[in-house]
Amino acid sequence: MTLFRGTLLDTPADPFTGGALRVDVDGGLLVRDGEIVARSAYDDLRRAHPDEDVVDLRGGLVLPGFVDTHVHFPQVRVIGGLGMPLLDWLDRCALPEEARMQDPAYAAAVAPEFVRGLASAGTTSALVFGAHYAPAVDLLFEEASAQGLRITSGLVVSDRRLRDDLLTTPARAHAESLALADRWHGVGRNRYAVIPRFALSCSEELLAACGAVLAEVPGAMFTSHVNENEREIAEVARLCGTHYTGSYDRHGLCGPHSVLAHDVHPTDPELELMAERGTTVAHCPTSNATLGSGLFPLARHVAHGVRVALGSDVGAGTGFSLLKEGLQAYFAQQLLGPDGYPLGPAHLLHLATAAGAQALGLGEVGDLSVGKRFDAVWLRPADGTPLAVGLAHAADGEDALARAFALGTPADVGGVWVDGALVGETAAVR
Ligand code: GUN
Ligand code: FE
C-alpha cells in the first residue's frame, strides 16, 4: 500500500446543489491496488500505518484527475487557428488536418502528442472524438493504453457536407464501428463511443446506423455537437426539420450515456428534453470564445436541471488545460452580467472533475473519497512562479483553488496518477 500526503481538494457534494468544497490540509490517502482504502489527517493515518511507503505531495495542491468531456484527437496540430467562425474554421483548419489521419504513419505520430497533451495538463479521463479512419482510432486506443489514461472514444462518422475523403456510408460506419468496439470496448480502461460528427454532416440513415451501434454495444456512449453556431443551427433546422437535439434524440441517441458539446444557443424545449434524458452538455468555453460561438447560458442549463461538465474542445479550444477552461467558463458567466451564473472555485473544480466523471459514467473516479480509484493531479508550481506566489499567499483552501484556476498551467503539474500509478512522463523532476 502507499500513503499519499498533501493538501487535498475535491467536491464529493455538488456545489450546484449546495455542496461545499472539501479541503484537507495535510491530509492522507491510503491507496491499495489503485483504490483509496482510507482517508484522514496524515498524522493519524501514518500512526495507523507506520510501515507503508509515503509519497509526499506537500507544497502544492492534490486534486482529482481532470475529466475532459470533449476533445478531438486529430486536432492537436491545429490549435491556434484564430479569427474564423465554426464552419469556416472547419473547412480551412480542422478538416484538412483530419484528412491527413488517413495515413497511419501520420496518425501514429499524432497519437502520442495528443495523449501526452492530455496527461501533462492533468487530465486522467477523456471522452475523445477519434478520427474518421478506423486505423487512426486503433492508434489512439493503443497510445492511451500505453500511457495509462481512461479513454472513451470511437470512429467519427459523416456522410454529407464535409470533403469527400472524410465521408463514409451508413453500412460502412456500422461495420467499422462495431469492429472497433469489439477490439476496444471494455479492454483495459478503454470504452467505445458512437460519434456522428454533427447533424449537419450526417444523414438520417447514418444517424440511424449510429443508433443501431449504440444499441448493440452495451455500455457504449454517444457524443456529438449541438447548437454551437447560429449559421450551423439554421442549416440543421432546414435539413432535419426538427430542433438540433431532436435530430439525435429521434434515433435513440440521447440518454444518460450521452454528451452533447457546446449548446450555446439551446431552445427551452431542448433543455427540457436533455434534462429528461439525463444527457450531459460539454461546456467548451475557450472554443466558444475562439470561434465567436457565444456565451454559454449556464444559468438556463442549471435551472432546467441539465447536467454540465467541461471540455477543452482542442483544437478550436486553445489547449488541454481544464484549469484554463474553468477560468474561461468563469469569464463567460461574468460577461453575461445578470444572466450569468456566479461560479466560484468549487463550481469550477466540480465541472472539471466530478461532473465529468458522472457524464462519462465513471463512478469510480471524480473525487478522492474512500472507495474511489486514485486518479489525481498534483499541482506543484516551481518556486517563485506566479502560482507558487499565489498559493503562498492564499487565505484558505478555497482561495488557493481560485488561484490555481487563475494562474495554473500544465507547467505547474507535478505529477498525474491513474489507478494509483504515475502516468508516463508527468513526474515532477524538480
Ligand atoms: N462541429 C462539427 N465538428 C466540429 C469540430 O471539430 N469542432 C467544433 N468546435 N465544432 C464542430
Ligand atoms: Fe468539438
Ligand 1: nearest atom to the Cα of 94: 6
CA distance 75 to 82: 14
Q: Is 198 in the pocket of ligand 1 (CB under 6 A)?
A: yes
Q: Is 214 in the pocket of ligand 1 (CB under 6 A)?
A: no
Q: Is 313 in the pocket of ligand 1 (CB under 6 A)?
A: yes
Q: Is 228 in the pocket of ligand 1 (CB under 6 A)?
A: yes
H/E segment holding residue 391? helix 386-392
Confidence band for 428, pLDDT divided at 50, 70 and 90: low
**Measured CA distances, 344 to 59, 74, 87, 91, 329 (Å):** 23, 33, 33, 37, 11
Residue ID of nearest Cα to ligand 1 atom 11: 225
CA of 367 to the centre of ligand 1 (A): 30
Q: Which ligand is nearest to the CA of 97?
A: 1
154 in Cβ contact with 430 (< 8 Å): no
Task: Report residue 158 as a C-alpha cell.
Answer: 459523416
CA of 59 to the centre of ligand 1 (A): 39
Query: What ranges do the domains of the chain cover?
Result: 2-64+366-422, 80-359
List, for residues 338-389, the tens digit of each pLDDT value. Answer: 999 999 999 999 999 999 999 999 999 999 999 999 999 999 999 999 999 9
Residue ID of nearest Cα to ligand 1 atom 7: 316
CA distance 364 to 62: 18
Same fold, 2-64+366-422 and 80-359: no
**Measured CA distances, 77 to 113, 211, 286 (Å):** 9, 31, 17
Can you name the CATH fold of 2-64+366-422? Urease, subunit C; domain 1 (2.30.40)
**pTM for this model (two decimals):** 0.98
Confidence band for 427, pLDDT divided at 50, 70 and 90: low
ipTM above 0.90, yes or no: yes
Can you name the CATH fold of 80-359? TIM Barrel (3.20.20)
Q: What are phi and psi of 162, to 5 degrees?
A: -85, 170
Q: Is 260 in the pocket of ligand 1 (CB under 6 A)?
A: no
pLDDT of the residue at 429: 41
